[in-house]
Amino acid sequence: MLVVLVAVAALLVVRPGPVAGWFGEAPITPTPPAAAPEPPPGPVLAAFADPRAPTPAGIRAAIDTLVTGAGLGGRLSVSVADVVTGQSLYSRGPDAQAVPASTTKLVTAVAALTARGPVHRIPTRVVAGEQPGEVVLIGGGDPTLALTGTGTYPGAARLDTLAAQVKKALGGAVPTSVVVDASLFSGPVFGPGWDADIATGGFAGPVTALMTNGGRVDPKELAPAERFSAPDVAAGQAFARALGQSSSASKAVRRGKAPAGTAPVDAPAPSTGVDGQSPTGAGTSPTASGAATTPPAPGTELGRVWSPPMARLVEIMLSESDNIVAESLARQVALARGAPASFQGAAAAVDELLAEIGLPAGESALADGSGLSRTNRLSPSILTDLLAYAAANDRPQLGPVFSGLPVAGWSGTLTDRFQAKSGTGKAGMGVVRAKTGTLSGVDAMSGVVVTADGRTLAFALLADGVTAGHWEAQAALDAIAARLARCGC
């Protein structure tokens, strides 16, 4: 028994930690090993090499034979760039100015979104006229304005909504006359360098600050579509009918201007309700029954509706290559910069804005915003630079440039493209997003494509000396873009 107690005591004496403290000894604390010094950080970004990054040699091997092939004439200029790095990967006359046709709308889109912002809305207003019973319909440059809920453009502001506002502001009284004020836009209504048949061909019409459904006679027709020769007066006549005027009275609609001192039409948009309607009423003070207490003074606002936001207008313009919407948006750039809202003023304002955001001013010389003008000049490299600029992460306001681009084989002006029986273009279906451009002797395409390696490339193909048939030229452009899509370059 004595042996056992001695053994236990020995165990208690040698055990470290709190037990040792019971016998008046300090606890034994183990000494941690010395930490190894942390190595300095290495140059992570400098050492990074993306295996998917395409190379100039790879792109050249992929498309060079297609670029020099038949069908595109002797004046094909090309630019291909990596959207991530901005690096030029392929060029053929990259700085040579060519007729861009409707790829011009890419420039108009970036300029409009930069000058106005994606949430800007265009107002259409009505104010009291100089004479008793007279109202003035003032165009703010909204080409999508509809008559009713069945207009050409979804979500458009409506004249019947505006008429209801006016009648409420007037206590139910029917105005005796309607004056249309489209003076916000100035200069010729047809663009410089437009082909002679554009006025009657259905792809454009007179560009005025007041119109409905892009000036179309039948809102259900997209393009080609018959257009009004005087879209501002036609809009005024439709408005008069919506107010309740007889057909004979509505034909007496005349052009004029809003009374002196009327607030500018180009004012910021408040939060809007359904169909672009202002959530608050407009006009003179109503009584409990809705009737105005006194006749409205000249210039008093009686109603206002708002277009879809600029982001949506840009998408409409790009997807369907809508020329009237394009010209209206180019004028919004001019208005934002205090320039005349004319063909000349708008083109100059867009060119100036391009220079201000850092693009080469010498590679852009525009005469219109739609690309119908044969005097327009753009280089392919300014288009790829523009796409890379718009794709930057710190410019989300330019996102509608890409969401509005037609998708190969699926939407907009590319719905029926990239489906050649030969299969040369099918690789681009769904992965090429591009703006097309077509005039007689001119075929162009510019946009972005995702390669087989998952890399996004910007490209611009401008051919303004096409001698082959139009369909052959389109197939040749499709084949180049599709080859980029297949590229593991």
Active-site residue flag, 220: no
**Residue 45: is its pLDDT beyond 90?**
no
**Residue 2: is its pLDDT beyond 70?**
no
pLDDT digits (tens, 9 = 90+) for 326-363: 999 999 999 999 999 999 999 999 999 999 999 998 99
pLDDT, position 280 = 36
Mean pLDDT of 40-69: 73
Task: Give yes or no: residues 436 and 321 share one domain.
Answer: yes
Task: Give yes or no: residues 176 and 222 share one domain.
Answer: yes
Cross-strand pairs, 407: 433
Q: Per the residue annotation, which of 307, 321, 381, 446 is the catalytic one?
A: 321
Task: Give yes or no: residues 91 and 137 share one domain.
Answer: no
Task: Give yes or no: residues 145 and 212 share one domain.
Answer: yes
- The 8-class DSSP code of residue 129 comes to -
Residue 456, domain extent:
56-117+313-486
Active-site residue flag, 370: no
- 153 found inside a domain: yes
H helices within 68-186, ranges in order?
104-116, 159-169
Task: Give yes or no: residues 128 and 84 share one domain.
Answer: no
**Residue 116: is its pLDDT beyond 90?**
yes
Residue 59 pLDDT class (50, 70, 90 cuts): very high
Give the total number of structural domains in the chain. Answer: 2
pLDDT, position 209 = 98
> How far is the CA of 466 from the CAs of 53, 75, 101, 438, 461, in angstroms?
33, 8, 13, 11, 12
Mean pLDDT of 314-320: 97
Cross-strand pairs, 92: 78
Task: Give yes or no: residues 339 and 451 share one domain.
Answer: yes
- 259 found inside a domain: yes
Which two tokens mark 325?
A: 């919407």
**Residue 22: is its pLDDT beyond 70?**
no
Does residue 446 contact residue 435 with C-beta atoms inside 8 Å? yes
- 290 found inside a domain: no
**Residue 112: is its pLDDT beyond 50?**
yes
**Residue 32: is its pLDDT beyond 70?**
no
pLDDT, position 233 = 98
Task: Give yes or no: residues 319 and 451 share one domain.
Answer: yes
- 38 found inside a domain: no
Which amino acid makes up residue 300? T
Residue 268 pLDDT class (50, 70, 90 cuts): low
CA proximity to 361, closest of 370, 351, 369:
351
Task: Give yes or no: residues 299 and 338 share one domain.
Answer: no
Q: Give the domain CATH number at 444.
A: 3.40.710.10
Active-site residue flag, 246: no
- 26 found inside a domain: no
Cβ neighbours for 37, distance < 8 A, ≥ 6 positions apart: none
pLDDT, position 71 = 74
Angle at CA 166, nearest 5°, toward 161 and 169? 130
pLDDT digits (tens, 9 = 90+) for 379-399: 999 999 999 999 999 999 999
Task: Give yes or no: residues 302 and 380 share one domain.
Answer: no
- 278 found inside a domain: yes
pLDDT digits (tens, 9 = 90+) for 88-105: 999 998 888 999 999 999
Least confident of 8-12, 146-150, 264-268, 310-314: 8-12
Which two tokens mark 53?
A: 């990054």
Cross-strand pairs, 432: 449
Q: Per the residue annotation, which of 77, 79, 91, 102 is the catalytic one?
A: 102
Residue 409 pLDDT class (50, 70, 90 cuts): very high
Cβ neighbours for 247, distance < 8 A, ≥ 6 positions apart: 241
Instruction: Report CA torsion sign: 386, 390, 394, 397.
Output: positive
Q: Per the residue annotation, which of 105, 167, 168, 435 is the catalytic one?
A: 105
pLDDT, position 43 = 46
Least confident of 89-93, 123-127, 197-201, 213-217: 197-201
Task: Give yes or no: residues 385 and 461 share one domain.
Answer: yes
User: pLDDT averaged over the chain?
Assistant: 86
Task: Give yes or no: residues 303 and 410 share one domain.
Answer: no
pLDDT, position 423 = 58
- 61 found inside a domain: yes
- 88 found inside a domain: yes
Task: Give yes or no: residues 104 and 127 share one domain.
Answer: no
Least confident of 18-27, 141-150, 301-310, 402-411: 18-27
